[in-house]
Amino acid sequence: MRSGEIVALKEMFGVFTSWDQCCNLTEVKALQVLSHPNIVTLKEVVLQDQKLQLVYELLDRDLYKMIEEKRDKK
């Protein structure tokens, strides 16, 4: 919100009581080190009020629709 950039948020289920608990999640650990044009970029990890939110770049395409379009072309 500070930069005005539009992003995608993913709120994780569960109660998170520490920063270490959040950083040790497999998804967080993997996305922090991966850098590939076919993998969505994890921009930030936010822990607030025991809720964990992952902030991702917003893609301009819907993956499901893209898969369906490729199937239709076959």
- The answer, yes or no, to whether residue 1 has pLDDT greater than 60, is no
Cα–Cα distance, 29 to 25 (Å, whole number) = 6
Q: What is the model's pLDDT at position 70?
A: 83
Beta bridge partners of 53: 11, 46
Q: What is the pLDDT of residues 4-54, one digit of tens each?
A: 889 999 999 989 999 899 888 888 999 888 888 888 899 999 999 999 999
C-alpha torsion sign, points 7, 10, 15, 18: negative
CATH class of 7-73: alpha beta
Q: What is the pTM of this model?
A: 0.75
